[in-house]
Amino acid sequence: MAAAAEPGTLSWLGGGSPRRGSPSSSPDLGSRGRSRPGLGSGPERAGARTPGSAALGHSFRKVTLTKPTFCHLCSDFIWGLAGFLCDVCNFMSHEKCLRQVKTPCTRMAPSLVHVPVAHCFGSRGLYKRKFCAVCRKGLEAPALRCEVCELHVHPDCVPFACSDCRQCHQDGHRDYDTHHHHWREGNLPSSARCEVCRKACGSSDVLAGLRCEWCGIQAHSVCCATLAPECTFGRLRTMILPPACVRLLSRNFSKMHCFRISESAASEPGEVDDSVEGSAPTAGPAKDVLMSESSKQTLKIFDGSDAVQRNHFRVISVPRLARSEEVLEVALRAFYIMEDTRGFELQPLPSPVQAGDPGSQGKAWSGGTLEEEGSRGPGSREPTPEAWIIRALPRPEEVLKVYPAWLKVGVAYVSIRVTPQSTARSVVLEVLPLLGRQAEGPESFQLVEVLMGSRQVQRTVLAEEELLLNWLRDLQKTSLRQMSQTRLYVAESRAVVPRSSLFIGGLPPGLSPQEYSSLLDEAVATKAGLVSLSHVYSSQGAVVLDVACFAEAERLYMLVKDTAVHGRPLTALVLPDVLHTKLPPDCCPLLVFVNPKSGGLKGRDLLCSFRKLLNPHQVFELTNGGPLPGFHVFSQVPCFRVLVCGGDGTVGWVLAALEEMRHRLVCPEPSVAILPLGTGNDLGRVLRWGAGYSGEDPLSVLVSVDEADSVLMDRWTILLDGHEASAAENGLADMEPPKIVQMSNYCGIGIDAELSLDFHQAREEEPGKFTSRFHNKGVYVRVGLQKISHSRSLHKEIRLQVEQQEVELPSIEGLIFINIPSWGSGADLWGSDSDSRFEKPRMDDGLLEVVGVTGVMHMGQVQGGLRSGIRIAQGSYFRITLLKATPVQVDGEPWVQAPGYMIISAASPKVHMLRKAKQKPKKAGTPKDARTDGGPTPEGDPK
């Protein structure tokens, strides 16, 4: 067999026509609702079921309520002492609601997934008033969430979660005409309203209600059946990058790699710690059983040989007088397996001493009670084994479900009976006529095994002579849970041209393409026939590689991440292709940059929120490659906007990258909006984005960006020529080349740059303490008090020329060049008084204002609104001579500048910024947009 891992979206796999308004969390969940998961063919498990619950896999039983309980369908309180509980997924319901239940049971849901897409689980965190999508219980302990969708799960429930994440790109195998809703159940705010009946559909008490993770509409599980299946992306439709317009061949890359999610933010959510046997998860309802009761016995259950090797087990609690069928039923339920117990048996797990005994593993439970099993054997005193393994009984033949791997077909799957002689080729021959493809030759098709894990979707092409009954028995022996998560697809055996784009950053700048090619060949041994340089960004020290082999792309990606060139570690990113010709005419996607280290460290939550509200392919983390990868991905998009989440220094970083990339962009002048995350946020204040982000709804931020007005702003170029004056006079100038930086807000020389430098050094030493904007300002105050008696006489150490004219400086300690009417966290340094010598300042007038301050006390008075700065000059060209090494800061980024020259001049063209529209008073009784009610809130500020 030829195996290939495909952890991304397998959009070409699947079949059947989606049923309208499916209440599941899959985009097309619900086609052929009576199909059972897994590959076996046993009858439905016996139990007290209603006709509706049987089709959805639930096993309801009447229970006595001992504490306040809510219905998972209508979310109302269950009055009285009786309710109906599903023994498998803990779904609780009124008796009157049983026949209206549309949500499939956890053990049934994997079989209803239309397109399997793996999840991206981040690090563990506390998510208040959230519920697990597998066991439906509250997340009281640290739990996991998907970074792309609204799935929340307990760590021990991860292996049983559906691979039903959002499909955010095409993988080159399948195109589709329309995009359908992607429903996710529960975890809605209490204020959520149903799109159909306009009644409350959210709940903070149970997992209830549905929300589309693309357009954000919300509905009851019963009401959503009346909604059209097509999704229009809602209020953000013009800002979202449509999945049909993004292509990424992700055969060998995980979803974390495809979406550029930092691995430092994601722990490995394993099932159980292999080293701690007692930390294994407890199965389903047994968590609520008191283990101290003498009438109960606790057993460890393994679901196959793979679980035994990994020491991954589930713990169940059963009565000591329970029969073997009852114990087996509880064991299967612990692994969410919905098969008849007559097809399985429990075998005692051999101890290490008995492992070499070939007969010890084959002794199955004989059918007696636990006490009877414990009394059998020599001396009748041998205790009941504490560990058991579930084994599937061999059958002479099986019934397999085979799914069509193309979109437009009339059935979801077909059932095929396989015998010991059945091969993959014979099954293909039998399936094609049932799917209406009998006119085509079987040599054009292949049988594909797809393992739909919650964290990875693996695809394996079966060999034509593979005996399917033997293949199934091997799979059953390995893991019964994996068997229930495995599908067979019949797919066209057309060759897919492998192509992956890798961004490589951190290289030495200023080299030629040939030099970069030689450097990479020396560092990571690139293969010339498979790897080529498609784009070279010499000034930034980065290249984009086109790799014509999936295995080679994976090798390069993993190798580059552990490689350093000239002492600098390299950066590797997997980049998608934006199919710009398929973009709708009114589409203006938003390119989002987030700096998680800015200001109050709220960027991590915003990253997750924006990935869920938009397409994660349009959200970039600046600490992982900078802004260049984002501009490269959007280079062919005819019209787009930019949102920068960070401080003033972050905004300047992105604007500088935009200036360098402008000639490569089809949209050379994208407008830039700001979500201020820094400490000062002066540019954000001027553009009405506020003094700093304080936990507002991310959806309302995106709506404000969509409604913002475009304005022009000057950009300035600062040439730093730090030659020693004495060396220049002797003709022995320093060989260090001049440095060029870009400025948007202001440039400070002297005392204000010195304070900024001290703050920057303190933050670099202990970054963990600088998580609060209030704390950061407190550090500024403390540093300023330490410098309050400091006297430098800056006017004696520098010379200033404005428009080629020498300007005499007054007695000052700081010289500041300002481009916007905000400095030092909102202070008006220039002042509002009219002066006939100068024009009224504007951020797009092509002029800079030069202001002096006499010391820390003067700066404090300016920030308090008691004074303004000393107006010195106004112009468009400045030359500053530094006679000594002097602190300098540009847009909040400080350093010590060597003696030499500084030349400040206007950069062209002007940059387009987005200014937030003035808030209009809301009319009473105006309904909120559905997406506004249901958009995800930052997880750091849970409701």
Closest by Cα among 608, 604, 590, 593 to 936: 608
Q: Among the ranges 676-680, 845-849, 888-892, 925-929, which has the highest mean pLDDT value?
A: 845-849
Confidence of residue 775 (pLDDT cuts 50, 70, 90): low
What the block records as the tokens of 98 is 């049983």
Per-residue confidence (pLDDT) for residue 212, from 0 to 100? 94
Per-residue confidence (pLDDT) for residue 176, from 0 to 100? 64
Q: How far apart are CA 141 and CA 154, in angstroms?
A: 8
In tens, the pLDDT along 931-941 reads 544 444 444 44
Q: How far apart are CA 160 and CA 453, in angstroms?
A: 8
Position 16 pLDDT exceeds 70: no
- How far is the CA of 800 from the CAs of 266, 803, 816, 869, in angstroms? 52, 10, 12, 17
DSSP 657: H
The whole-chain average pLDDT of the chain stands at 80
Q: Among the ranges 282-291, 295-304, 631-640, 863-872, which has the highest mean pLDDT value?
A: 631-640
Q: Is the bond leading into 909 cis (omega within 30 degrees of zero)? A: yes
Position 2 pLDDT exceeds 50: no
Position 727 pLDDT exceeds 70: no
Confidence of residue 612 (pLDDT cuts 50, 70, 90): very high
What the block records as the tokens of 367 is 């059918």
Do 289 and 319 touch, CB atoms closer than 8 A? no
Per-residue confidence (pLDDT) for residue 665, from 0 to 100? 94
In tens, the pLDDT along 731-768 reads 444 446 788 888 988 999 998 888 888 877 777 777 66
Average pLDDT over every residue of 70-84: 87
Confidence of residue 250 (pLDDT cuts 50, 70, 90): confident
In tens, the pLDDT along 153-169 reads 999 899 889 888 998 98
| Strand 486-492 with 398-404, pairing | parallel
- How far is the CA of 382 from the CAs of 155, 361, 388, 910, in angstroms? 36, 17, 15, 86
Per-residue confidence (pLDDT) for residue 47, from 0 to 100? 37
Q: Which residue has the higher pLDDT, 11 or 65?
A: 65
Position 270 pLDDT exceeds 60: no
In tens, the pLDDT along 449-473 reads 888 888 888 888 898 898 999 999 9
In tens, the pLDDT along 585-600 reads 999 999 999 998 775 5
Per-residue confidence (pLDDT) for residue 693, from 0 to 100? 86
Per-residue confidence (pLDDT) for residue 210, from 0 to 100? 92
Output the DSSP codes for 331-350: HHHHTT--S-GGGEEEEEPP
Long-range contacts of 666-669 (CB under 8 A, 24+ apart): 666/580, 666/635, 666/636, 666/637, 666/638, 667/634, 667/637, 667/638, 667/639, 667/640, 669/909, 669/911, 669/912
Confidence of residue 336 (pLDDT cuts 50, 70, 90): confident
Cβ neighbours for 836, distance < 8 A, ≥ 6 positions apart: none
Per-residue confidence (pLDDT) for residue 225, from 0 to 100? 86
Average pLDDT over every residue of 664-679: 90
Position 14 pLDDT exceeds 60: no
Position 711 pLDDT exceeds 70: yes
Share of the chain above pLDDT 90, in %: 29
